Amino acid sequence: MRYPTELQEHWATDGEALTIRPIRPDDATAHDAFFHRLSPEDIRFRFFAAVRELTPEQLAKFTRLNYDKDMAFIAVRDTTGETVGVARLARERHPDIGEFAVVVQSDVKGRGLGTHLMRRLLDWARQHGVKEVVGEILAENEPMLDLARHLGFSLHYSADDSTVIEARLRLV
């Protein structure tokens, strides 16, 4: 698939310059380094488990996308080239429904980056025929629940697991 260079933008938060762009296959090493800079809590909130390593298969899945079907926007520090945040949307089960995930490195939390990445992701989803965006959030993850509410998601406890909140946003 052709890499969508037109989706790249420069963005700043609290004076720090970042490049927001779709992830690429050659980001695998930087993405792995980003994973290792995440706190254990951030990893548990993202993966619902204490994951210690990403397998080569996971890194490939996370960085090699069909840009017409799925998307992952990353935030990269202009000064160091480090990835500091990612928001992704995958349509694995149904072409009209995308499942989202977002994680931001601790030192840039609270500066609007997660919100910005999610808004970019939702805009992309609308333009690519996604009718509903869904996600699962651990009930104790208050910052993510606040972000979901802020973006207009409806939140309901999972029927299968009372520790999980299902977030849903209709786009049409």
DSSP 4-47: -GGG-EEEEETTEEEEEEE--GGGHHHHHHHHHHS-HHHHHHHH
Percent of the chain whose predicted confidence (pLDDT) is above 90: 95
pLDDT tier at 93 (50, 70, 90 boundaries)? confident
pTM reported for the whole predicted model:
0.96
Cα–Cα distances in angstroms (integers) from residue 31 to residues 66, 81, 108, 132, in the given order: 18, 11, 16, 27
Neighbours of 84 (CB within 10 A): 22
What DSSP letter does each residue of 71-124 carry, written as one string? EEEEEEETTT--EEEEEEEEEEEETTEEEEEEEE-GGGTTSSHHHHHHHHHHHH
1: pLDDT strictly greater than 80: no
Structural domains in the chain, sorted by start: 5-170 (3.40.630.30)
What per-residue confidence (pLDDT) applies to 29?
97
Neighbours of 115 (CB within 10 A): 16
Kindly state the average pLDDT of the residues 8-15.
94
pLDDT tier at 18 (50, 70, 90 boundaries)? very high
- pLDDT of 24-74, one tens digit each? 999 999 999 999 999 999 999 999 999 999 999 999 999 999 999 999 999
Largest Cα–Cα separation, the chain: 45
**The token pair that represents 124 in the structure block:** 């992309």
What per-residue confidence (pLDDT) applies to 172?
86
Helix (H) or strand (E) segment spanning residue 148? helix 142-150
